[in-house]
A and B are shown apart, each in its own frame.
Chain A
Protein backbone atom coordinates (compact mmCIF):
# COMPACT_ATOMS: atom_id res chain seq x y z
CA UNK A 1 0.00 0.00 0.00
CA UNK A 2 2.76 2.40 0.93
CA UNK A 3 4.59 1.61 -2.27
CA UNK A 4 1.45 2.29 -4.33
CA UNK A 5 0.93 5.68 -2.71
CA UNK A 6 4.58 6.50 -3.28
CA UNK A 7 4.30 5.60 -6.99
CA UNK A 8 1.12 7.65 -7.39
CA UNK A 9 2.76 10.67 -5.74
CA UNK A 10 5.78 10.23 -7.98
CA UNK A 11 3.60 10.11 -11.08
CA UNK A 12 1.65 13.22 -10.05
CA UNK A 13 4.87 15.19 -9.56
CA UNK A 14 6.14 13.92 -12.91
CA UNK A 15 2.95 15.07 -14.65
CA UNK A 16 3.12 18.48 -13.02
CA UNK A 17 6.74 18.82 -14.10
CA UNK A 18 5.86 17.78 -17.63
CA UNK A 19 3.11 20.39 -17.82
CA UNK A 20 5.46 23.16 -16.77
CA UNK A 21 7.01 23.42 -20.28
CA UNK A 22 4.89 25.13 -22.98
CA UNK A 23 4.78 22.87 -26.03
CA UNK A 24 3.73 25.74 -28.27
CA UNK A 25 6.45 28.20 -27.38
CA UNK A 26 8.72 29.56 -30.11
CA UNK A 27 11.57 27.17 -29.39
CA UNK A 28 9.45 24.03 -29.53
CA UNK A 29 7.52 25.23 -32.56
CA UNK A 30 10.79 25.91 -34.38
CA UNK A 31 12.05 22.44 -33.48
CA UNK A 32 8.85 20.82 -34.70
CA UNK A 33 8.90 22.91 -37.91
CA UNK A 34 12.50 21.88 -38.54
CA UNK A 35 11.48 18.23 -38.10
CA UNK A 36 8.59 18.64 -40.54
CA UNK A 37 10.77 20.39 -43.11
CA UNK A 38 13.39 17.70 -42.80
CA UNK A 39 10.73 15.12 -43.62
CA UNK A 40 9.38 17.27 -46.47
CA UNK A 41 5.99 17.69 -44.82
CA UNK A 42 5.54 21.22 -46.09
CA UNK A 43 1.77 21.36 -45.78
CA UNK A 44 1.93 20.46 -42.09
CA UNK A 45 4.79 22.91 -41.52
CA UNK A 46 2.79 25.89 -42.83
CA UNK A 47 0.59 26.45 -39.70
CA UNK A 48 3.60 25.97 -37.39
CA UNK A 49 5.71 28.51 -39.26
CA UNK A 50 2.77 30.85 -39.56
CA UNK A 51 2.45 30.84 -35.76
CA UNK A 52 6.18 31.43 -35.45
CA UNK A 53 5.96 34.39 -37.84
CA UNK A 54 3.20 35.87 -35.66
CA UNK A 55 5.43 35.41 -32.58
CA UNK A 56 8.47 36.92 -34.31
CA UNK A 57 7.09 39.37 -36.89
CA UNK A 58 10.47 40.89 -37.75
CA UNK A 59 12.23 37.65 -38.69
CA UNK A 60 12.83 37.74 -42.44
CA UNK A 61 14.31 34.23 -42.55
CA UNK A 62 11.20 32.72 -40.91
CA UNK A 63 8.92 34.53 -43.32
CA UNK A 64 11.02 33.29 -46.22
CA UNK A 65 10.80 29.77 -44.82
CA UNK A 66 7.02 30.03 -44.58
CA UNK A 67 6.76 31.20 -48.19
CA UNK A 68 9.09 28.38 -49.23
CA UNK A 69 6.70 25.93 -47.58
CA UNK A 70 3.82 27.41 -49.58
CA UNK A 71 5.90 27.03 -52.74
CA UNK A 72 6.90 23.44 -52.00
CA UNK A 73 3.37 22.48 -50.95
CA UNK A 74 1.99 23.88 -54.21
CA UNK A 75 -0.28 26.36 -52.39
CA UNK A 76 0.85 29.35 -54.47
CA UNK A 77 -2.23 31.56 -54.13
CA UNK A 78 -2.26 31.52 -50.31
CA UNK A 79 1.50 32.02 -50.38
CA UNK A 80 1.07 35.20 -52.41
CA UNK A 81 -1.63 36.48 -50.03
CA UNK A 82 0.76 35.89 -47.14
CA UNK A 83 3.77 37.24 -49.04
CA UNK A 84 2.26 40.66 -49.70
CA UNK A 85 2.74 41.43 -45.97
CA UNK A 86 6.46 40.63 -45.97
CA UNK A 87 9.05 43.01 -47.34
CA UNK A 88 12.36 41.43 -46.24
CA UNK A 89 14.93 40.56 -48.91
CA UNK A 90 14.80 36.77 -48.41
CA UNK A 91 11.02 36.65 -48.26
CA UNK A 92 10.87 38.92 -51.31
CA UNK A 93 12.78 36.33 -53.35
CA UNK A 94 10.34 33.64 -52.31
CA UNK A 95 7.45 35.97 -53.09
CA UNK A 96 8.80 36.54 -56.62
CA UNK A 97 9.07 32.75 -57.10
CA UNK A 98 5.41 32.42 -56.15
CA UNK A 99 4.47 35.20 -58.56
CA UNK A 100 6.29 33.42 -61.39
CA UNK A 101 4.58 30.14 -60.55
CA UNK A 102 1.16 31.82 -60.77
CA UNK A 103 2.03 33.48 -64.12
CA UNK A 104 2.16 37.01 -62.63
CA UNK A 105 5.23 37.76 -64.72
CA UNK A 106 4.56 41.51 -64.91
CA UNK A 107 4.38 41.93 -61.11
CA UNK A 108 7.46 39.76 -60.61
CA UNK A 109 9.49 41.83 -63.06
CA UNK A 110 8.27 45.07 -61.53
CA UNK A 111 9.61 44.01 -58.11
CA UNK A 112 12.83 42.75 -59.63
CA UNK A 113 13.39 46.01 -61.51
CA UNK A 114 12.80 48.01 -58.32
CA UNK A 115 15.78 46.22 -56.80
CA UNK A 116 17.93 46.46 -59.91
CA UNK A 117 21.58 47.09 -59.22
CA UNK A 118 21.54 45.12 -55.97
CA UNK A 119 20.35 41.73 -57.13
CA UNK A 120 21.29 38.72 -55.07
CA UNK A 121 22.40 35.62 -57.07
CA UNK A 122 18.99 34.02 -56.48
CA UNK A 123 17.18 37.10 -57.69
CA UNK A 124 19.32 37.08 -60.82
CA UNK A 125 18.22 33.51 -61.50
CA UNK A 126 14.60 34.54 -60.99
CA UNK A 127 15.08 37.47 -63.33
CA UNK A 128 16.45 35.06 -65.92
CA UNK A 129 13.61 32.60 -65.34
CA UNK A 130 10.98 35.33 -65.72
CA UNK A 131 12.43 36.17 -69.14
CA UNK A 132 12.61 32.51 -70.13
CA UNK A 133 8.97 32.04 -69.17
CA UNK A 134 8.03 34.94 -71.45
CA UNK A 135 10.31 33.67 -74.27
CA UNK A 136 12.54 36.77 -74.19
CA UNK A 137 15.48 34.73 -75.39
CA UNK A 138 17.82 37.63 -76.24
CA UNK A 139 17.42 39.32 -72.84
CA UNK A 140 17.86 35.96 -71.11
CA UNK A 141 21.06 35.35 -73.07
CA UNK A 142 22.52 38.72 -72.02
CA UNK A 143 21.81 37.82 -68.36
CA UNK A 144 23.66 34.51 -68.72
CA UNK A 145 26.64 36.02 -70.51
CA UNK A 146 26.96 38.50 -67.65
CA UNK A 147 30.26 37.95 -65.75
CA UNK A 148 28.56 37.24 -62.44
CA UNK A 149 26.32 34.56 -63.89
CA UNK A 150 28.98 32.53 -65.71
CA UNK A 151 29.94 30.87 -62.41
CA UNK A 152 26.40 29.69 -61.78
CA UNK A 153 26.23 25.83 -61.76
CA UNK A 154 23.28 25.83 -64.19
CA UNK A 155 24.65 28.49 -66.55
CA UNK A 156 25.44 25.99 -69.30
CA UNK A 157 22.06 24.31 -68.93
CA UNK A 158 20.27 27.63 -69.33
CA UNK A 159 22.40 28.53 -72.36
CA UNK A 160 21.56 25.22 -74.06
CA UNK A 161 17.90 25.69 -73.15
CA UNK A 162 17.86 29.12 -74.81
CA UNK A 163 19.66 27.91 -77.93
CA UNK A 164 17.28 24.98 -78.32
CA UNK A 165 14.11 27.00 -77.91
CA UNK A 166 15.22 30.15 -79.70
CA UNK A 167 15.58 28.23 -82.95
CA UNK A 168 12.32 26.34 -82.53
CA UNK A 169 10.04 26.68 -85.53
CA UNK A 170 6.45 27.30 -84.55
CA UNK A 171 3.84 25.91 -86.93
CA UNK A 172 1.55 28.38 -88.64
CA UNK A 173 -2.10 27.28 -88.28
CA UNK A 174 -3.18 28.96 -91.51
CA UNK A 175 -0.46 27.19 -93.49
CA UNK A 176 -1.58 23.87 -91.95
CA UNK A 177 -5.18 24.59 -92.99
CA UNK A 178 -4.06 25.58 -96.50
CA UNK A 179 -1.98 22.44 -96.92
CA UNK A 180 -4.93 20.30 -95.85
CA UNK A 181 -7.12 22.09 -98.37
CA UNK A 182 -4.65 21.12 -101.16
CA UNK A 183 -3.99 17.52 -100.06
CA UNK A 184 -6.14 16.14 -97.19
CA UNK A 185 -4.00 15.21 -94.21
CA UNK A 186 -0.94 17.19 -95.31
CA UNK A 187 -1.64 19.97 -92.80
CA UNK A 188 -1.66 17.43 -89.99
CA UNK A 189 1.58 15.91 -91.24
CA UNK A 190 3.02 19.46 -91.26
CA UNK A 191 2.07 19.71 -87.54
CA UNK A 192 3.87 16.39 -86.89
CA UNK A 193 0.56 14.48 -86.60
CA UNK A 194 1.53 11.94 -89.24
CA UNK A 195 -0.80 9.18 -88.13
CA UNK A 196 -3.88 11.41 -88.03
CA UNK A 197 -2.89 12.83 -91.39
CA UNK A 198 -2.74 9.39 -92.99
CA UNK A 199 -6.10 8.41 -91.49
CA UNK A 200 -7.65 11.65 -92.79
CA UNK A 201 -6.22 11.06 -96.25
CA UNK A 202 -7.58 7.50 -96.39
CA UNK A 203 -11.02 8.51 -95.02
CA UNK A 204 -11.51 11.46 -97.36
CA UNK A 205 -9.99 9.57 -100.28
CA UNK A 206 -12.26 6.55 -99.90
CA UNK A 207 -15.41 8.64 -99.35
CA UNK A 208 -14.61 10.75 -102.43
CA UNK A 209 -13.89 7.64 -104.51
CA UNK A 210 -17.18 6.01 -103.48
CA UNK A 211 -19.07 9.22 -104.23
CA UNK A 212 -17.38 9.44 -107.65
CA UNK A 213 -18.24 5.81 -108.40
CA UNK A 214 -21.85 6.40 -107.38
CA UNK A 215 -22.24 9.48 -109.55
CA UNK A 216 -20.39 7.81 -112.44
CA UNK A 217 -22.90 4.96 -112.52
CA UNK A 218 -26.20 6.78 -112.10
CA UNK A 219 -25.36 10.43 -112.31
CA UNK A 220 -27.10 12.76 -109.85
CA UNK A 221 -29.78 10.11 -109.19
CA UNK A 222 -27.30 8.04 -107.19
CA UNK A 223 -28.23 8.03 -103.49
CA UNK A 224 -24.88 6.53 -102.52
CA UNK A 225 -23.11 9.24 -104.46
CA UNK A 226 -24.86 11.94 -102.43
CA UNK A 227 -24.34 10.14 -99.13
CA UNK A 228 -20.63 9.55 -99.66
CA UNK A 229 -20.25 12.98 -101.25
CA UNK A 230 -21.76 14.59 -98.16
CA UNK A 231 -19.51 12.56 -95.90
CA UNK A 232 -16.45 13.45 -98.00
CA UNK A 233 -17.27 17.19 -97.77
CA UNK A 234 -17.80 16.86 -94.01
CA UNK A 235 -14.52 15.03 -93.47
CA UNK A 236 -12.69 17.40 -95.83
CA UNK A 237 -13.82 20.54 -93.99
CA UNK A 238 -13.30 18.79 -90.65
CA UNK A 239 -9.76 17.96 -91.68
CA UNK A 240 -8.99 21.59 -92.64
CA UNK A 241 -10.28 22.79 -89.29
CA UNK A 242 -8.50 19.90 -87.53
CA UNK A 243 -5.20 20.82 -89.18
CA UNK A 244 -5.58 24.40 -87.97
CA UNK A 245 -6.21 23.08 -84.45
CA UNK A 246 -3.38 20.59 -84.75
CA UNK A 247 -0.83 23.33 -85.56
CA UNK A 248 -2.10 25.40 -82.65
CA UNK A 249 -1.90 22.36 -80.39
CA UNK A 250 1.66 21.66 -81.51
CA UNK A 251 2.71 25.21 -80.58
CA UNK A 252 0.80 24.99 -77.30
CA UNK A 253 2.47 21.73 -76.35
CA UNK A 254 5.88 23.27 -76.94
CA UNK A 255 5.02 26.35 -74.85
CA UNK A 256 3.72 24.14 -72.07
CA UNK A 257 6.94 22.12 -72.18
CA UNK A 258 9.02 25.30 -71.70
CA UNK A 259 6.74 26.46 -68.89
CA UNK A 260 6.86 23.13 -67.05
CA UNK A 261 10.61 22.85 -67.37
CA UNK A 262 11.24 26.32 -65.89
CA UNK A 263 8.56 25.87 -63.23
CA UNK A 264 10.14 22.58 -62.18
CA UNK A 265 13.44 24.45 -61.67
CA UNK A 266 11.70 27.16 -59.60
CA UNK A 267 9.93 24.56 -57.43
CA UNK A 268 13.03 22.41 -56.94
CA UNK A 269 15.25 25.37 -56.00
Chain B
Protein backbone atom coordinates (compact mmCIF):
# COMPACT_ATOMS: atom_id res chain seq x y z
CA UNK B 1 0.00 0.00 0.00
CA UNK B 2 2.70 2.47 0.94
CA UNK B 3 4.71 1.79 -2.23
CA UNK B 4 1.52 2.47 -4.12
CA UNK B 5 1.19 5.79 -2.31
CA UNK B 6 4.78 6.69 -3.01
CA UNK B 7 4.16 5.84 -6.65
CA UNK B 8 1.16 8.16 -6.74
CA UNK B 9 3.13 10.86 -4.99
CA UNK B 10 6.03 10.58 -7.40
CA UNK B 11 3.69 10.60 -10.36
CA UNK B 12 1.94 13.73 -9.12
CA UNK B 13 5.26 15.37 -8.38
CA UNK B 14 6.34 14.68 -11.94
CA UNK B 15 3.09 16.09 -13.27
CA UNK B 16 3.46 19.26 -11.23
CA UNK B 17 7.07 19.67 -12.31
CA UNK B 18 6.03 19.37 -15.97
CA UNK B 19 3.19 21.81 -15.49
CA UNK B 20 5.37 24.29 -13.63
CA UNK B 21 8.06 24.07 -16.29
CA UNK B 22 5.56 24.91 -19.01
CA UNK B 23 4.02 27.65 -16.87
CA UNK B 24 7.51 29.14 -16.60
CA UNK B 25 7.99 28.89 -20.36
CA UNK B 26 4.67 30.63 -20.95
CA UNK B 27 5.18 33.42 -18.43
CA UNK B 28 8.91 34.09 -18.66
CA UNK B 29 8.76 36.19 -21.88
CA UNK B 30 6.15 38.42 -20.25
CA UNK B 31 8.31 38.86 -17.16
CA UNK B 32 11.21 39.80 -19.42
CA UNK B 33 8.95 42.30 -21.16
CA UNK B 34 7.75 43.97 -17.97
CA UNK B 35 11.12 44.11 -16.23
CA UNK B 36 13.09 45.17 -19.31
CA UNK B 37 10.58 47.92 -19.96
CA UNK B 38 11.43 49.30 -16.52
CA UNK B 39 15.19 49.27 -17.10
CA UNK B 40 17.57 52.02 -18.08
CA UNK B 41 18.80 51.78 -21.65
CA UNK B 42 22.38 50.81 -20.71
CA UNK B 43 21.12 48.30 -18.17
CA UNK B 44 19.50 46.24 -20.95
CA UNK B 45 22.70 45.32 -22.80
CA UNK B 46 24.53 43.35 -20.19
CA UNK B 47 25.81 39.86 -20.08
CA UNK B 48 24.90 37.70 -18.29
CA UNK B 49 21.36 39.08 -18.58
CA UNK B 50 19.63 40.01 -15.34
CA UNK B 51 15.86 39.97 -15.05
CA UNK B 52 15.32 42.79 -12.56
CA UNK B 53 16.18 46.39 -13.40
CA UNK B 54 19.22 47.56 -11.52
CA UNK B 55 21.11 50.82 -11.18
CA UNK B 56 24.63 51.42 -9.90
CA UNK B 57 24.79 52.97 -6.44
CA UNK B 58 26.45 56.36 -6.33
CA UNK B 59 27.76 58.18 -3.29
CA UNK B 60 28.69 61.71 -2.38
CA UNK B 61 32.33 61.73 -1.34
CA UNK B 62 34.15 64.61 0.32
CA UNK B 63 36.23 66.62 -2.10
CA UNK B 64 34.25 65.59 -5.20
CA UNK B 65 31.44 67.61 -6.72
CA UNK B 66 29.51 64.81 -8.39
CA UNK B 67 28.26 61.61 -6.86
CA UNK B 68 30.64 58.74 -7.55
CA UNK B 69 29.69 55.17 -8.51
CA UNK B 70 30.47 52.42 -6.03
CA UNK B 71 32.33 49.23 -7.07
CA UNK B 72 33.41 46.01 -5.48
CA UNK B 73 37.19 46.06 -5.21
CA UNK B 74 39.84 43.65 -4.04
CA UNK B 75 41.49 45.54 -1.22
CA UNK B 76 44.58 43.48 -0.31
CA UNK B 77 42.71 40.23 -0.58
CA UNK B 78 39.52 41.48 1.10
CA UNK B 79 36.42 42.41 -0.88
CA UNK B 80 35.49 46.00 -0.22
CA UNK B 81 33.28 48.73 -1.69
CA UNK B 82 35.19 51.69 -3.12
CA UNK B 83 34.07 54.61 -5.30
CA UNK B 84 35.48 55.17 -8.77
CA UNK B 85 37.30 58.48 -8.88
CA UNK B 86 39.21 58.21 -12.14
CA UNK B 87 38.21 56.05 -15.10
CA UNK B 88 41.51 55.80 -17.00
CA UNK B 89 44.78 55.87 -15.20
CA UNK B 90 47.60 55.00 -17.59
CA UNK B 91 49.81 52.37 -16.06
CA UNK B 92 52.70 50.24 -17.15
CA UNK B 93 53.64 46.74 -16.21
CA UNK B 94 57.27 46.50 -15.23
CA UNK B 95 59.59 43.61 -14.54
CA UNK B 96 63.26 43.17 -13.83
CA UNK B 97 65.10 41.98 -16.96
CA UNK B 98 66.29 38.82 -15.22
CA UNK B 99 62.95 38.05 -13.62
CA UNK B 100 60.22 38.71 -16.18
CA UNK B 101 57.59 36.66 -14.35
CA UNK B 102 57.28 39.01 -11.39
CA UNK B 103 55.60 42.14 -12.65
CA UNK B 104 54.82 45.37 -10.88
CA UNK B 105 52.19 47.86 -11.90
CA UNK B 106 53.04 51.54 -11.67
CA UNK B 107 51.47 54.69 -13.01
CA UNK B 108 53.31 55.98 -16.07
CA UNK B 109 53.42 59.52 -14.70
CA UNK B 110 55.16 58.43 -11.51
CA UNK B 111 57.91 56.44 -13.15
CA UNK B 112 61.19 57.92 -14.38
CA UNK B 113 63.68 56.43 -16.78
CA UNK B 114 66.90 55.15 -15.32
CA UNK B 115 69.43 57.68 -16.64
CA UNK B 116 71.30 56.48 -19.70
CA UNK B 117 70.65 52.79 -19.31
CA UNK B 118 68.99 50.59 -21.94
CA UNK B 119 68.51 46.90 -22.39
CA UNK B 120 67.65 44.56 -25.27
CA UNK B 121 64.15 43.23 -24.72
CA UNK B 122 62.46 41.06 -27.33
CA UNK B 123 65.04 42.09 -29.93
CA UNK B 124 64.68 45.80 -29.38
CA UNK B 125 66.62 48.30 -27.43
CA UNK B 126 64.33 49.68 -24.71
CA UNK B 127 64.92 52.06 -21.82
CA UNK B 128 65.03 50.93 -18.21
CA UNK B 129 62.87 52.52 -15.51
CA UNK B 130 63.41 53.08 -11.83
CA UNK B 131 60.83 51.08 -9.94
CA UNK B 132 60.63 51.18 -6.19
CA UNK B 133 59.77 47.87 -4.60
CA UNK B 134 59.61 47.81 -0.79
CA UNK B 135 61.81 50.91 -0.58
CA UNK B 136 64.40 49.49 -2.95
CA UNK B 137 64.87 50.98 -6.42
CA UNK B 138 65.34 48.43 -9.18
CA UNK B 139 65.78 49.17 -12.92
CA UNK B 140 63.10 47.37 -14.84
CA UNK B 141 61.75 47.07 -18.38
CA UNK B 142 58.24 48.03 -19.27
CA UNK B 143 56.57 44.97 -20.73
CA UNK B 144 53.00 46.31 -21.16
CA UNK B 145 50.89 49.41 -20.98
CA UNK B 146 47.28 49.48 -19.96
CA UNK B 147 44.67 51.63 -18.29
CA UNK B 148 43.10 50.98 -14.92
CA UNK B 149 40.47 52.70 -12.86
CA UNK B 150 41.33 54.50 -9.65
CA UNK B 151 39.09 53.66 -6.73
CA UNK B 152 38.93 55.35 -3.37
CA UNK B 153 37.60 54.40 0.01
CA UNK B 154 34.48 56.51 0.43
CA UNK B 155 35.22 57.02 4.11
CA UNK B 156 38.82 58.02 3.51
CA UNK B 157 39.26 59.33 -0.06
CA UNK B 158 43.03 59.47 0.34
CA UNK B 159 43.12 55.67 0.45
CA UNK B 160 43.08 54.64 -3.22
CA UNK B 161 43.83 51.59 -5.30
CA UNK B 162 43.98 50.69 -9.00
CA UNK B 163 41.84 47.98 -10.55
CA UNK B 164 40.70 47.01 -14.02
CA UNK B 165 37.44 48.88 -14.50
CA UNK B 166 35.98 46.47 -17.03
CA UNK B 167 36.35 43.52 -14.69
CA UNK B 168 35.03 45.43 -11.70
CA UNK B 169 31.52 44.76 -10.63
CA UNK B 170 29.50 47.82 -9.67
CA UNK B 171 27.54 47.80 -6.46
CA UNK B 172 23.92 47.91 -7.53
CA UNK B 173 20.46 48.38 -6.14
CA UNK B 174 17.11 47.41 -7.64
CA UNK B 175 15.33 50.31 -9.28
CA UNK B 176 12.63 50.91 -11.81
CA UNK B 177 12.13 53.51 -14.47
CA UNK B 178 8.42 53.94 -15.12
CA UNK B 179 9.33 57.11 -17.02
CA UNK B 180 10.14 54.81 -19.97
CA UNK B 181 6.39 54.50 -20.45
CA UNK B 182 6.02 58.25 -20.33
CA UNK B 183 8.70 58.62 -22.96
CA UNK B 184 7.13 56.03 -25.25
CA UNK B 185 3.72 57.62 -24.87
CA UNK B 186 4.83 61.22 -25.36
CA UNK B 187 7.66 60.95 -27.85
CA UNK B 188 6.49 58.04 -29.95
CA UNK B 189 2.82 58.95 -30.28
CA UNK B 190 1.63 55.94 -28.34
CA UNK B 191 -1.09 57.93 -26.54
CA UNK B 192 -3.04 58.55 -29.71
CA UNK B 193 -2.51 54.96 -30.81
CA UNK B 194 -3.87 53.75 -27.49
CA UNK B 195 -7.03 55.85 -27.60
CA UNK B 196 -7.56 54.99 -31.28
CA UNK B 197 -7.28 51.29 -30.50
CA UNK B 198 -9.68 51.63 -27.57
CA UNK B 199 -12.19 53.55 -29.69
CA UNK B 200 -12.00 51.10 -32.57
CA UNK B 201 -12.29 48.12 -30.28
CA UNK B 202 -15.34 49.53 -28.49
CA UNK B 203 -17.11 50.39 -31.74
CA UNK B 204 -16.30 47.08 -33.40
CA UNK B 205 -17.47 45.08 -30.38
CA UNK B 206 -20.71 47.06 -30.06
CA UNK B 207 -21.40 46.98 -33.78
CA UNK B 208 -20.72 43.31 -34.06
CA UNK B 209 -22.92 42.53 -31.06
CA UNK B 210 -25.82 44.39 -32.68
CA UNK B 211 -25.54 42.82 -36.12
CA UNK B 212 -24.77 39.35 -34.78
CA UNK B 213 -27.66 39.36 -32.34
CA UNK B 214 -30.12 40.51 -35.02
CA UNK B 215 -28.76 38.11 -37.63
CA UNK B 216 -28.43 35.22 -35.21
CA UNK B 217 -32.01 35.71 -34.06
CA UNK B 218 -33.23 35.73 -37.67
CA UNK B 219 -31.36 32.53 -38.45
CA UNK B 220 -32.47 30.83 -35.24
CA UNK B 221 -36.11 31.81 -34.98
CA UNK B 222 -37.54 33.52 -38.03
CA UNK B 223 -38.62 31.45 -40.97
CA UNK B 224 -37.96 32.93 -44.35
CA UNK B 225 -37.27 31.40 -47.75
CA UNK B 226 -33.58 30.83 -48.41
CA UNK B 227 -32.71 30.92 -44.73
CA UNK B 228 -30.96 27.59 -44.55
CA UNK B 229 -28.97 27.91 -47.76
CA UNK B 230 -27.95 31.41 -46.69
CA UNK B 231 -26.80 30.01 -43.38
CA UNK B 232 -24.72 27.38 -45.14
CA UNK B 233 -23.08 30.12 -47.23
CA UNK B 234 -22.34 32.07 -44.05
CA UNK B 235 -20.76 29.00 -42.50
CA UNK B 236 -18.69 28.32 -45.60
CA UNK B 237 -17.21 31.80 -45.63
CA UNK B 238 -15.86 31.41 -42.09
CA UNK B 239 -13.23 29.15 -43.63
CA UNK B 240 -12.12 31.60 -46.31
CA UNK B 241 -8.89 33.30 -45.33
CA UNK B 242 -9.00 37.05 -44.93
CA UNK B 243 -6.13 37.55 -47.39
CA UNK B 244 -8.43 36.55 -50.23
CA UNK B 245 -10.46 39.73 -49.84
CA UNK B 246 -7.67 42.02 -48.77
CA UNK B 247 -6.89 43.58 -52.16
CA UNK B 248 -10.51 44.24 -53.23
CA UNK B 249 -11.31 45.50 -49.75
CA UNK B 250 -8.40 47.90 -50.06
CA UNK B 251 -9.74 49.09 -53.40
CA UNK B 252 -13.16 49.54 -51.81
CA UNK B 253 -11.54 51.69 -49.15
CA UNK B 254 -9.88 53.79 -51.86
CA UNK B 255 -13.26 54.23 -53.53
CA UNK B 256 -14.95 55.28 -50.29
CA UNK B 257 -12.04 57.56 -49.41
CA UNK B 258 -11.35 55.65 -46.22
CA UNK B 259 -7.68 54.90 -46.75
CA UNK B 260 -5.79 56.27 -43.74
CA UNK B 261 -9.09 56.72 -41.91
CA UNK B 262 -10.30 55.07 -38.73
CA UNK B 263 -13.57 54.16 -40.45
CA UNK B 264 -11.65 51.60 -42.52
CA UNK B 265 -10.65 49.83 -39.31
CA UNK B 266 -14.20 49.77 -37.96
CA UNK B 267 -16.85 49.35 -40.63
CA UNK B 268 -15.64 46.15 -42.38
CA UNK B 269 -15.33 44.34 -39.04
CA UNK B 270 -18.83 44.97 -37.79
CA UNK B 271 -20.41 42.32 -39.98
CA UNK B 272 -19.04 38.85 -39.47
CA UNK B 273 -20.31 35.42 -40.28
CA UNK B 274 -18.63 34.02 -37.19
CA UNK B 275 -20.50 36.22 -34.72
CA UNK B 276 -23.81 35.50 -36.41
CA UNK B 277 -23.07 31.80 -36.28
CA UNK B 278 -22.18 31.97 -32.58
CA UNK B 279 -25.35 33.84 -31.61
CA UNK B 280 -27.53 31.60 -33.76
CA UNK B 281 -26.11 28.51 -32.06
CA UNK B 282 -26.94 29.98 -28.67
CA UNK B 283 -30.40 31.31 -29.52
CA UNK B 284 -31.45 27.96 -30.91
CA UNK B 285 -31.08 26.44 -27.43
CA UNK B 286 -33.58 28.85 -25.86
CA UNK B 287 -36.97 27.10 -25.44
CA UNK B 288 -39.57 28.18 -27.97
CA UNK B 289 -42.46 28.14 -25.49
CA UNK B 290 -41.33 31.31 -23.72
CA UNK B 291 -41.26 33.17 -26.99
CA UNK B 292 -44.65 31.90 -28.13
CA UNK B 293 -46.25 33.05 -24.87
CA UNK B 294 -44.78 36.50 -25.40
CA UNK B 295 -46.09 36.65 -28.98
CA UNK B 296 -49.58 35.80 -27.73
CA UNK B 297 -49.25 38.71 -25.30
CA UNK B 298 -48.67 40.94 -28.31
CA UNK B 299 -44.97 41.57 -27.87
CA UNK B 300 -43.06 42.65 -30.96
CA UNK B 301 -40.01 40.77 -32.18
CA UNK B 302 -37.67 43.46 -30.93
CA UNK B 303 -39.30 43.38 -27.50
CA UNK B 304 -38.92 39.62 -27.37
CA UNK B 305 -35.29 39.88 -28.38
CA UNK B 306 -34.62 42.60 -25.82
CA UNK B 307 -36.55 41.19 -22.86
CA UNK B 308 -36.18 37.43 -23.32
CA UNK B 309 -33.26 36.53 -25.54
CA UNK B 310 -30.67 39.09 -24.51
CA UNK B 311 -30.88 38.54 -20.74
CA UNK B 312 -30.68 34.79 -21.28
CA UNK B 313 -27.69 34.96 -23.57
CA UNK B 314 -25.29 36.95 -21.40
CA UNK B 315 -22.62 34.20 -21.56
CA UNK B 316 -22.77 34.04 -25.35
CA UNK B 317 -22.64 37.83 -25.61
CA UNK B 318 -19.65 37.94 -23.28
CA UNK B 319 -17.94 35.23 -25.29
CA UNK B 320 -18.52 37.03 -28.56
CA UNK B 321 -17.38 40.31 -27.01
CA UNK B 322 -14.12 38.89 -25.73
CA UNK B 323 -13.41 37.20 -29.03
CA UNK B 324 -14.13 40.36 -31.01
CA UNK B 325 -12.24 42.47 -28.51
CA UNK B 326 -9.09 40.38 -28.96
CA UNK B 327 -9.47 40.40 -32.71
CA UNK B 328 -9.94 44.15 -32.95
CA UNK B 329 -7.27 45.01 -30.41
CA UNK B 330 -4.59 42.73 -31.80
CA UNK B 331 -5.22 42.98 -35.53
CA UNK B 332 -2.18 44.04 -37.50
CA UNK B 333 -2.36 43.05 -41.16
CA UNK B 334 -5.36 45.16 -42.12
CA UNK B 335 -4.21 48.32 -40.27
CA UNK B 336 -0.80 47.87 -41.88
CA UNK B 337 -2.41 47.79 -45.32
CA UNK B 338 -4.90 50.57 -44.88
CA UNK B 339 -3.21 53.03 -42.54
CA UNK B 340 -0.02 54.71 -43.65
CA UNK B 341 2.60 53.92 -41.03
CA UNK B 342 3.75 57.52 -41.05
CA UNK B 343 0.27 58.71 -40.13
CA UNK B 344 0.69 59.16 -36.39
CA UNK B 345 -2.80 60.41 -35.70
CA UNK B 346 -4.71 57.45 -37.09
CA UNK B 347 -2.40 54.66 -36.06
CA UNK B 348 -3.37 51.79 -33.85
CA UNK B 349 -1.21 50.25 -31.15
CA UNK B 350 0.04 47.29 -33.14
CA UNK B 351 1.25 49.58 -35.92
CA UNK B 352 2.82 51.98 -33.45
CA UNK B 353 4.69 49.14 -31.74
CA UNK B 354 5.90 47.83 -35.08
CA UNK B 355 7.19 51.28 -36.05
CA UNK B 356 8.74 51.75 -32.62
CA UNK B 357 10.53 48.42 -33.00
CA UNK B 358 12.32 49.82 -36.04
CA UNK B 359 12.85 53.33 -34.78
CA UNK B 360 14.08 52.55 -31.30
CA UNK B 361 15.74 49.23 -32.13
CA UNK B 362 18.73 50.12 -29.95
CA UNK B 363 16.56 50.88 -26.92
CA UNK B 364 14.89 47.60 -26.03
CA UNK B 365 13.55 49.11 -22.83
CA UNK B 366 11.41 51.53 -24.88
CA UNK B 367 10.38 48.91 -27.45
CA UNK B 368 9.25 46.55 -24.72
CA UNK B 369 7.45 49.37 -22.90
CA UNK B 370 5.51 49.87 -26.14
CA UNK B 371 4.88 46.15 -26.40
CA UNK B 372 3.63 46.14 -22.82
CA UNK B 373 1.16 48.93 -23.59
CA UNK B 374 -0.21 46.81 -26.42
CA UNK B 375 -0.19 43.50 -24.54
CA UNK B 376 -1.18 44.32 -20.97
CA UNK B 377 -4.76 45.65 -21.44
CA UNK B 378 -6.02 42.37 -22.98
CA UNK B 379 -4.07 40.37 -20.42
CA UNK B 380 -5.58 42.34 -17.53
CA UNK B 381 -9.07 41.97 -18.94
CA UNK B 382 -8.31 38.27 -19.45
CA UNK B 383 -7.42 37.89 -15.78
CA UNK B 384 -10.84 39.23 -14.80
CA UNK B 385 -12.91 37.49 -17.44
CA UNK B 386 -10.93 34.28 -17.85
CA UNK B 387 -14.02 32.11 -18.20
CA UNK B 388 -15.27 33.89 -21.30
CA UNK B 389 -11.92 33.79 -23.04
CA UNK B 390 -11.65 30.08 -22.54
CA UNK B 391 -15.25 29.63 -23.64
CA UNK B 392 -14.73 31.72 -26.75
CA UNK B 393 -11.97 29.38 -27.81
CA UNK B 394 -13.91 26.19 -27.19
CA UNK B 395 -17.17 27.46 -28.65
CA UNK B 396 -15.50 27.80 -32.02
CA UNK B 397 -16.61 24.32 -32.92
CA UNK B 398 -15.03 21.66 -30.79
CA UNK B 399 -18.26 20.73 -29.06
CA UNK B 400 -19.63 19.17 -32.23
Q: Tell me, yes or no, whether A binds B.
A: no
List residues of A whose CB falls within 8 A of some B CB.
none
B residues contacting A by CB (< 8 A) are none
